[in-house]
Structure 1
Amino acid sequence: MDTLNQFLTALSKAWLQADVLFLVSFGLFFFALWFLPSLLALAFNRQHLGKIALLNIPAGVSWIAWLALLVWAITGKLSNKLAAKARLKPVL
């Protein structure tokens, strides 16, 4: 318990001594990382961008949900291509 108190004390001192530029850059980095699935969906022009962006807000709390959104944002069109291929090939 003493170690936790020392850590929290050191963290609060470092936070109070940080300058504005560091805090702004840390905030921008944090939000860019939090909304990375939405940014990738926007970059890859996914049709489900709105759903990914909406689900990205609570998904940042859970690493599993965040990773699932990241995969969805990256492979969105790939699943459509695989589904189209599966429908075209006859079953032997």
Structure 2
Amino acid sequence: MEFIDSILASDNYAFIGFILIGVFILWFLPAMLALAFNRKHFKYILLACIPAGFSLIAWGGVLVWATTGKAIGKYANKANSETET
């Protein structure tokens, strides 16, 4: 805690800004990944990132949700095509 207090008490605003940008990127990492992997649910994932950032378990769940979008659809389509033949 003393380390955080010393950073906030210093006049190194560039470092504080860098830390805040890093936290913002990590907080919304699932939403950024959803743009590539699960674009269909991007809005919901973006909204879920806001409260999920307070819990590592919830944030991990949103991260899994963001990265498994196309994989689930791909395997579901593959299973449907195999059962039709």
TM-score, length basis structure 1: 0.78
Over alpha carbons, which structure has the higher Rg?
A: 1
Structure 1 alignment gaps of length 5 or more = 1-7
Cα shift readout 1:43-64 (whole Å, capped 9, x = no counterpart): 4461110000011100111111
Cα shift readout 1:18-52 (whole Å, capped 9, x = no counterpart): 51101111100000000000011124461110000
2:39 pairs, out of 41, 46, 53, with: 46
Q: Which has the higher contact order (CA 8 A, sep 6+)?
A: 2
- Tell me how large the CA RMSD over aligned residues is: 1.9
1:67 pairs, out of 57, 60, 83, with: 60
Percentage of matched positions with identical amino acids: 43
2:28 aligned partner: 35
Structure 1 consecutive aligned stretches of length 4 or more whose deviation exceeds 4 Å: none
Structure 2 alignment gaps of length 5 or more = none
Aligned residues: 84
